Amino acid sequence: MSTTENKKFNTIAIHAGQEFDPSTGAVIPPIYQTSTYVQESIGVLRGGYEYSRGGNPTRTSLETMLAALEGGKHGLSFASGLAAEDSLLRAVLVPGDHVVLGNDVYGGTHRLINRVHGAWGVRNTTVEMSDLAAVEAAIIPGETKILWVETPSNPLMKISDVAGLVEVGHRHGVLVVVDNTFASPALQQPLALGADVVVHSTTKYLGGHSDVIGGGLVMNDDDLAEKTAFIQFAAGPVSAPLDAWLTVRGIKTLAVRMERHSSNALTIARYLQTHPAIEKVYYPGLESHPGHELAKRQMSAFGGMLSLAFKGGESAARLFAESMELFQLAESLGGVESLVNYPSEMTHASVRGTELEVATNIVRLSVGIEDIDDLLADLAQALPAE
């Protein structure tokens, strides 16, 4: 029996795939920094390991953990979030197929589907994912193969009804994929809501320390897992042993980190929504957010990401982003440190001129786990005087 069978989330995050080393008793499994493995005899492998592109014990431990965290059967680990997405798309799509995705997804996801796979003959339609009727209308019977859901979305923090979208997608035989990066499995588990695949940029909250890049997929379908694992092996976008180990180390504190991220972000969102320089705060933890009640039902807390629109337009947004001190101006998100991002020219620059273009008065915050009083003071000094 697995040591994590029937255990709760924090226990799973610490123990899944983390059996102690039987030869030494080391509590932390070693990093298997090796490219190849000695065989018992020709074609007879030790533990199933032959060559580290095909499998590595450190990567196996991460994949076991990913599956357990999301309540799934199969976990796969990749060199980046986009590598995970690309492998899934390659496993499912052929030229002529169609993808429906939200009109507020990560710019890199849209770029991958629209430009990389678009050049291969895959078509896509962007739609307001909170409008189930619009989503259903966008599905082309027999041609739409994937419904790509991101909730909360990036950067406008839209909340999509996963169970409702699953019902729509499955009625048309469409695979429902949920990017769970912003929420993390500590706050939301899409497979339990009926989704077919969960995707993560493990660079973000799972790794949690801004020191490793990675991606992950979790699913229950054996056939889809086999096809995706073949792409992982044949194309080789695998996570390296040290990267997998760092991600595992980060995951062990995921739940406690998400509690602090969420509480800090909610405090900051409430502070910002009353500031005269702010036009709007995008955070599902606020009662004023249109997706608040839905987020309460499908998430256990509201996460550490929020965005804000400035009344003063682009110039005010830029000045704020460049005036922060504890909130460092940088790409990415989900680390223990707080970051500020100007999406229009950073994470979402690739979607300028499309339906996904982000307004120039928007700033995105990744709220870290620092002392809340220090974060509030940093915001106050960067904002115009009230």
Q: What is the pLDDT of residues 207-264, one digit of tens each?
A: 999 999 999 999 999 999 999 999 999 999 999 999 999 999 999 999 999 999 999 9
**Res 2: pLDDT:** 56
**Res 348: pLDDT:** 80
Active site residue 311: no
Supply the pTM of this predicted model. Answer: 0.95
Active site residue 37: no
User: What are the φ and ψ backbone dihedral angles of 123, each rounded to 5 degrees?
Assistant: -100, 160
- Choose, from 179, 196, 243, 378, the residue flagged as catalytic: 179
Torsion angle in degrees (nearest 10) through CA of 123, 80, 317, 280: 70
- C-alpha–C-alpha distance, residues 43 and 193, integer Å: 42
Active site residue 252: no
Helix residue ranges per DSSP H, the chain: 9-15, 57-70, 81-92, 107-111, 132-138, 162-171, 222-235, 241-251, 254-272, 292-298, 313-323, 372-382
Quickly count: other Cβ atoms within 10 Å of residue 367's Cβ. Answer: 28
User: What are the φ and ψ backbone dihedral angles of 92, each rounded to 5 degrees?
Assistant: -105, -40
**Res 386: pLDDT:** 65
- C-alpha–C-alpha distance, residues 210 and 329, integer Å: 14
Side chain identity at 342, as an amino acid letter?
A: Y
Distances 78 to 67, 88, 113, 237 between C-alpha atoms, Å: 14, 11, 18, 6
Which residues, 6+ apart, have CB-to-CB distance to 41 below 8 Å?
A: none
- C-alpha–C-alpha distance, residues 28 and 381, integer Å: 43
Paired with 328 in beta bridges are 339
3-state DSSP assignment of residue 212 = coil
Picking from 258, 103, 117, 285, the residue whose alpha carbon sits closest to that of residue 183 is: 258
DSSP secondary structure letter of residue 326: S
- Choose, from 90, 123, 145, 204, the residue flagged as catalytic: 204
- Choose, from 32, 37, 49, 106, the residue flagged as catalytic: 106
**Res 1: pLDDT:** 41
Active site residue 179: yes
Q: What is the pLDDT of residues 137-181, one digit of tens each?
A: 999 999 999 999 999 999 999 999 999 999 999 999 999 999 999
DSSP secondary structure letter of residue 191: G
Residues of the chain with pLDDT under 70: 1-2, 386
